Amino acid sequence: MKIDIYDKLTILSDSAKYDVACTSSGVDRSGKLGSIGSAVKAGICHSFSADGRCISLLKVLMTNVCIFDCKYCVNRFSNDIARVGFTPRELADLTINFYRRNYIEGLFLSSGVIQSPNNTVEQMLKALELLRNVYHFGGYIHVKAIPGADNELIARLGHLADRMSINIELPSQQSLQLLAPNKTKESILRPMGLISTKIQENSTDLVKFRHASKFVPAGQSTQLIVGATPDTDHKILTLTEGLYKRYHLKRVYFSAYMPVAEHSLLPSVNTKPPLMREHRLYQADWLLRFYGFEAQELLDEQHPNFNLQVDPKCNWALNHLEKFPLEINKAPYEMLLRVPGIGVTSARRILTARRSSLLDFSGLKKMGIVLKRAQYFITCKGRIMDGLKITSAGTIRALMTDQYQLTSPNPEQLSLFNEPFITREDVQQCLTGQI
Amino acid sequence: MPDRTDLIYAYDGSFEGLMCCVFESYTQKEIPSVIRPPGVQQSLFDTEKWIESDKHKADRVFNSIPVKISPSAQELVKLGFLTCAPHKELLIYHFLRLGFNYGNKVMTMLTDATVCSLQKAVRYLTSESHKFKGFARFSVYGEVLVAVIEPNNFVLPLIAMHFCDRFRSEEFMIYDKTHGMALIYQSQKAELMFVEELTLPEVDGTEAEYRRLWRQFCKTIAIEGRNNPRCRMALMPKRYWGQLTECIVRSSIK
Ligand code: SF4
C-alpha cells in the first residue's frame, strides 16, 4: 500500500501532539537575500487549535517507528499502530511550502527511535541540512535531542537548530525506571548538560570570533508529565527550579497526562487529564521566572501540592497577611509584583504613573489595573478602598477562590484579557500562569 | 484660548493635514471641537473650516514634538494616527496640547483620560499588527504570493518590514480589504498603494493541495481531551476567521 503525504502528515502530527512546546521564541534573525525566512524573538502564533493551543511550528515526527517501549507513549514499541516516516525531502518540501504561505514560523522535529539513537539523529540531520543548506531556510527550527545519541551528533543538530529539547517527562528516577525502562536519568541529563555547556561556550566564542556559527541560540527546554505518577507538585516545582538554575533552561513545560494506554502502573484510561493542576504549575513557573519567587516559598514538605481553588500567588499572600496592605504610592516593584491581581505590566505602569502624580483607586482603574483581588491587599494614600469591609482572613480566602473551576469538568485555562503579559507568545499559547 | 464649542476643522485625512490642524489651532488661538476627515457626513447646520495641508507647517509641528515633549511622544502620535480609535484626530490633538503644556511628563500621566485612551488605542494597534504577522495567509499564484487581510487598525505600515525581510527573495502582495490599501513587494522594493478592489484568479492544484494539508494538520494537532473552544475563540476571535485557510468551511472554498 502506498502511503501518500496526506496520510503521513496525519499520522506523524497526531503522534507529535503530546509535546506541548509550541513556541517559536528566543531568537531574532533577519532574512537574507537568496534565502527564505527569519526569526522573531517574541515568537509568533499563526493559529490556534481546537484545544486553544498556539500553532506556531509544523510539529511532526520524522517517524513514529520506535524500538523503545515507554509505557505512557502512543509510539511505544508494543502499541499496535500504523508506522510511517517522512523522507528528508518530503519533510523539507512540506516545511518550505507551509512557510511560504505563512502558515508557520518553522519546524518542530521530533522522532521515534529507529534502529538506534544515533541512526535516528542521522536521519534528522539529513532533513535539517537539506532545509538549511539546500533550501536556504532561515526560519525557526526546534529539534528534539534523542537520549542516548553520541555527543558529536547532538552537537551537529545544535548548529542547525534554534532550540533543542530533551523531555524528562517523568519527574523522578523511580518513575522513569518503572515506566520508561529504556531511559535513565543519566541518558536524559547528560545531553542536557552537554547542550547547556555548548550554549555557554558558544556565547564566549561569538564574542571572540565574529563568524562562529550559533549553537541553539534560542536555548533549550524540556517537558514534565503531570499526573502519570504519584510525584507531588513540590517535587515537580523543585526540579523545575533546579533545571532553570543548573541547566539554564529557557522553558520547562508541563503536560497533564492524557491516558493513552491501559497499564497497571498508570492511571486508568478513563482518568481526566489534571488540567487544573497543570495550570497551577504554570502559574508557579511564572512566579519563579518573572516574579522573583522561590519554589520553597510556594510549597514545602507539609504542603506538597497546590491548592486547586486558590492560585499560588494568592495563596502565598493569604499566608503572609502581615506583609499587607501595601501602599501603592510607596511599595517597591518587587512587592507590587506580590500583590494578587497585579502582574508585571500593571506593576510597571504603576511605577511610571507614580512619577507624575499620587495614585488613588480611581486612577488605578483608569490605568487598566484590575482591582477585584488587589483591593484587599493595597492602600492608596494610606486609605483602603471606599466601602471595603474586611472581616477576617477566612472571608478573604473565600473571596479569592476560583469557584467556577470547581463546577466545570474542563477547567478554564486562563484567557488573559484583563491580564498583562510579558511576551505575547507566552500569553497566546494559553499554557501560562500570569497572575 | 477661546473654546468655541461649534468650531469644526475639516482636513484631507492625511497625517500632514492633521499636523496642520494643530498648527492652525495654535496660530489662531482656538480649539476645535471636531476634526473631521473626508467622507464623514456633516450635520445640517454646522459650518466647517477647511484646513489646507502644507508640508512646511506640518513639519514645524511634527519636528517640535521630540524637542518640546519627547521622542516617544512623537512615536505615539505617529502610531495613534494608524489606529481605529473613534475621533483619533481629536485624541491626538488633545494629547499634543497636554504635551506642549506639561512636556515630557505627559508620558507618565497614565490616569489622564486622553493619555490613557491614546495609549490604549496604540496598544490595540500594535497587538493587532502582531497578530497579523501570524494570521496573514498567502496563496501562491504562479510566482507571486498574495494575502488578503481585514484588520480594524491600519496595520500595513507596521507589518511591512517583517514580511519584506522574511520573504526577501519573493514577490508578494498583502491586500488590506478594510482600508483599501495594498503592500506590494517586487524586486526587493516595497510600496504601499491604494487598491479599490482585488479579484483573484482560481488557485491551481498545488495550492489547493497545500491548503488541504494545512487544514488537516491544524485539525490533527489538537488534543481532543483538552478541547477548549472558548479559549481558542478568545485568542483567535471569529472575525479573523474569514481569511484563515484553516477556518474557512470546506464547501465554501471548493
Ligand atoms: S522513546 Fe520516545 S517515541 Fe519512543 S516510546 Fe519512548 S517516548 Fe515514545
Other CB atoms within 10 A of residue B83 CB: 23
Specify the pLDDT at position A3. 77
Q: Give residue B250's pLDDT band: very low, low, confident or very high (50, 70, 90).
A: low
Cis peptide before A325 (omega within 30 of 0): yes
Q: Give residue A210's pLDDT band: very low, low, confident or very high (50, 70, 90).
A: low
Q: Cα(A143) to centroid of ligand 1, in Å? A: 15
pLDDT tens for A345-367 read: 999 999 999 999 999 999 999 99
Residue A393 pLDDT more than 70?
A: no
Specify the pLDDT at position A415. 31
Q: Span B198-210, mean pLDDT?
A: 93
Query: Is the Cβ pair B226, A275 closer than 8 Å?
Result: yes
Q: Give residue A400's pLDDT band: very low, low, confident or very high (50, 70, 90).
A: confident
Give me the domains of chain A, ranges plus CATH numbers. 5-298 (3.20.20.70), 312-419 (no CATH)
Q: Span A250-263, mean pLDDT?
A: 87
Q: Which of A5, A31, A55 sits opposite B218 (nearest CB)?
A: A55
A contact residues 170-229, partner B, Cβ 8 Å cutoff: none
3-state helix, strand, coil in chain A (%, to 5): 40, 10, 50
- Chain A residues in contact with B109 by the CB 8 A cut-off are 353, 356-357
Residue B63 pLDDT more than 50?
A: yes
Maximum C-alpha span of chain A: 77
Q: Give residue A404's pLDDT band: very low, low, confident or very high (50, 70, 90).
A: very low
Residue A229 pLDDT more than 80?
A: yes
Residue A426 pLDDT more than 60?
A: no
Q: Span A135-163, mean pLDDT?
A: 94
Mean residue pLDDT of chain B comes to 92
Lowest mean pLDDT among A389-393, B16-20, B123-127: A389-393
Is B167 at the interface with chain A, CB within 8 A? yes
Q: Span A223-249, mean pLDDT?
A: 93
Residue A316 pLDDT more than 60?
A: yes
Query: Is the Cβ pair A36, B245 closer than 8 Å?
Result: no
Specify the pLDDT at position B253. 43
Specify the pLDDT at position B185. 97
Specify the pLDDT at position A212. 64
Specify the pLDDT at position A209. 65
pLDDT tens for A261-306 read: 778 888 888 888 898 999 999 999 999 999 999 999 999 999 999 9
Cell of A99: 512557510
Q: Give residue A413's pLDDT band: very low, low, confident or very high (50, 70, 90).
A: very low
Is A268 at the interface with chain B, CB within 8 A? no
Percent of chain A with pLDDT over 70: 89
Residue B89 pLDDT more than 60?
A: yes
Mean residue pLDDT of chain A comes to 86
Residue A384 pLDDT more than 80?
A: yes
Residue A246 pLDDT more than 60?
A: yes
pLDDT tens for B98-123 read: 999 999 999 999 999 999 999 999 99
Residue B254 pLDDT more than 70?
A: no
Q: Which of A13, A356, A412 sits opposite B221 (nearest CB)?
A: A13
Query: Is the Cβ pair B228, A413 closer than 8 Å?
Result: yes
Is A412 at the interface with chain B, CB within 8 A? yes
What is the dihedral sign for C-alpha A422, A426, A427, A432? negative
Lowest mean pLDDT among A198-207, A224-233, A291-300, B210-219: A198-207
Specify the pLDDT at position B13. 94
Lowest mean pLDDT among A40-54, A171-185, A365-379: A171-185
Question: Terminus-to-terminus CA distance in chain B, angstroms?
Answer: 63
Residue A120 pLDDT more than 60?
A: yes
Rounded Cα gap, residues A282 and A286, in angstroms: 6
Is B170 at the interface with chain A, CB within 8 A? yes
The number of CA neighbours under 13 Å toward the Cβ of B70 is 13
Residue B3 pLDDT more than 60?
A: no
Q: Span A104-130, mean pLDDT?
A: 95
Q: Which of B138, B229, B230 sits opposite A101 (nearest CB)?
A: B138
Q: Span A34-44, mean pLDDT?
A: 93
What is the dihedral sign for C-alpha B168, B171, B175, B181? positive
Specify the pLDDT at position B65. 97
For residue B182, what are the contacts with CB-CB under 8 A and spacing of at least 6? Answer: B156, B173, B174, B175, B176, B192, B193, B194, B195, B198
Percent of chain A with pLDDT over 90: 62
Rounded Cα gap, residues B226 and B240, in angstroms: 23
Specify the pLDDT at position A402. 64
Is A333 or A210 the better-scoring residue by pLDDT? A333
The residue whose CA is least distant from atom 3 of ligand 1 is A112
In chain B, the residue whose alpha carbon lies closest to the alpha carbon of A46 is B134
Rounded Cα gap, residues B12 and A342, in angstroms: 43
Q: Give residue B234's pLDDT band: very low, low, confident or very high (50, 70, 90).
A: confident
* Phi, psi values for residue B162, rounded to 5°: -55, -50
Q: Give residue B1's pLDDT band: very low, low, confident or very high (50, 70, 90).
A: low
CA A136 to chain B, closest CA, distance in angstroms equals 11
Specify the pLDDT at position A423. 36
The number of CA neighbours under 13 Å toward the Cβ of A115 is 6
